[in-house]
Amino acid sequence: MAEKEMRAVYAETLMELAARDRGIMVVEADLMRASGTMAFRDAYPDRAIDVGVAEANLVGVAAGLAAEGKVPFAATFGCFASRRAFDQFFVSCAYAKLPVKLVGTDPGISAAYNGGTHMPFEDIGIMRTVPGLDIVEPSDPASLKALVGALAASGKPGYLRLHRKAIEPIYGAEETFALGKGKLLREGGDVLIIALGAILVPAAMAAAKSLEAEGIDAAVIDALSAKPIDAELILAWARKTGAVVTAENHQLAAGFGSAVAEILAETGAARLARVGVEESFGEVGTQDYLAKRFGLTAEAIAQKAKTLLAKRIKP
């Protein structure tokens, strides 16, 4: 796949699924233009519902549709999907075991000019508390397409952290993906970098390249799933390297790195340093400005890795 707007991939994938499965629906809260699902509405007008600016009702209506066997993808900005409609999602969808796929768009700094009100640095943390929930954050068009398909087929509620903008491909069309499974992008023996999402995975690869120039051999995993995390893959490479750096477009508290910290602390597999937003609300700026502002860059990842390795206690 060539570089492509992720929201276009999202909508096209749903249309492909809808052609085969009459149950596939999109439910939106006056953000169809943002989510890219206008094309879906044009193709399947009866299966695209716009509830207006009403996120609680968005999730509640989706729950009712799911109770009747539909597979609704209910989308809004990630801040509202998580913060504003959490109890609706928790009770009417997850607790009720109804397979609503909640889609939180514009994760973290990709909210850019919408600023602090619209910049979800906490949605993973919020959603991680939902028992049994699948949380995915695809890193490129191919992984997005495959994981939307996997969510649609799961029979369970899910949360998709959807980067809307154009993203360079990482994977070929033949690559296969599964919920709860990461991908090893690069082998390495000195340090393991585990990144999540369309901004930090390329940054992790760039960091690995710069570390290589300094004689440090970094492995890189594209996590893809924030819950369940791919403990098998992560622990295997954590044990090989003994040092892990996580990187996420999210705050550090209760984030993806926290999930990795849990399994590393319980197994003693490796030392850990985390790259993410430290105790801050979002703010306006370009995505590049915000990446530097909050330390979500290749340079920050490489620096964390070097600091961690310097402190490492050799057996």
Partner 1 sequence: MTLEANERSRLESAAKEIRKRTIDAIGYLGVGHIGGALSIVELLAVLYYKHMRVEPAEPRMADRDRLVLSKGHAGPALYSALALKGFFPMDWLHTLNAGGTNLPSHCDRNRTPGIDMTTGSLGQGLSAACGIALANRIDGRKSFTFAVIGDGESDEGQVWEAAMFARHSKLSRLIAFTDYNKMQIDGTTESVLDLGALEEKWAAFGWATARVDGHDVEAIDNAIGEAKLRAETAGGVPTMIILDTIKGKGAAFCEGLVTNHNMSFTYETAKKAIADLG
Where does this chain bind partner 1 (CB under 8 A)?
46-47, 49, 51-52, 54, 56-57, 59-70, 72, 87-88, 91-92, 95-97
72/255 with CB nearer partner 1 = 72
Min dist. Cβ of residue 17 to partner 1 (A):
16
Cα separation of 81 and 55, whole Å?
7
Place of tokens 């495959």: 146
Least separation in angstroms between residue 59's CB and partner 1 is 8
Instruction: Report the C-alpha gap between 238 and 20 in whole angstroms.
Output: 41
Which of residues 85 and 234 has its CB atom nearest to partner 1 in the complex?
A: 85
State the residue for tokens 């699902």: 37
Q: How far is the CB of 160 from partner 1 (least distance, A)?
A: 19
Q: What's the start-to-end Cα distance of the chain, in Å?
A: 45
- Tell me how far, at minimum, the Cβ of 10 lies from partner 1, in Å: 22
Identify the residue whose tokens are 């893959």: 233
Return the amino acid letter for 175.
E
In this complex, which beta carbon is closest to partner 1, that of residue 48 or of residue 238? 48
* Smaller CB separation from partner 1, 66 or 277: 66
- Show Cβ contacts of residue 73 under 8 Å, excluding neighbours closer than 6 positions: 14, 24, 25, 26, 27, 101, 103, 148, 152, 160
State which residue, 103 or 211, has the beta carbon closest to partner 1: 103
Closest contact distance (angstroms) between CB of 62 and partner 1 is 6
C-beta of 86: minimal distance to partner 1 in Å?
Answer: 11
Residue type, 221: I
Q: Which is nearer to partner 1, 46 or 279 (CB)?
A: 46
**Angle separating helix axes 256-267 and 231-241, nearest 10 degrees:** 60
C-alpha 178/C-alpha 97 separation (Å) is 21
Provide the minimum distance between the beta carbon of 63 and partner 1 in the complex, in angstroms, as a whole number.
5
Pick the closer one to partner 1 by CB: 57 or 287. Answer: 57
Nearer to partner 1, 24 or 198 (CB): 24
**Nearest distance from C-beta of residue 51 to partner 1, angstroms:** 5
Tell me whether residue 71 or residue 308 sits nearer to partner 1 (CB atom): 71
Least spacing, CB of residue 220 vs partner 1, in Å: 41
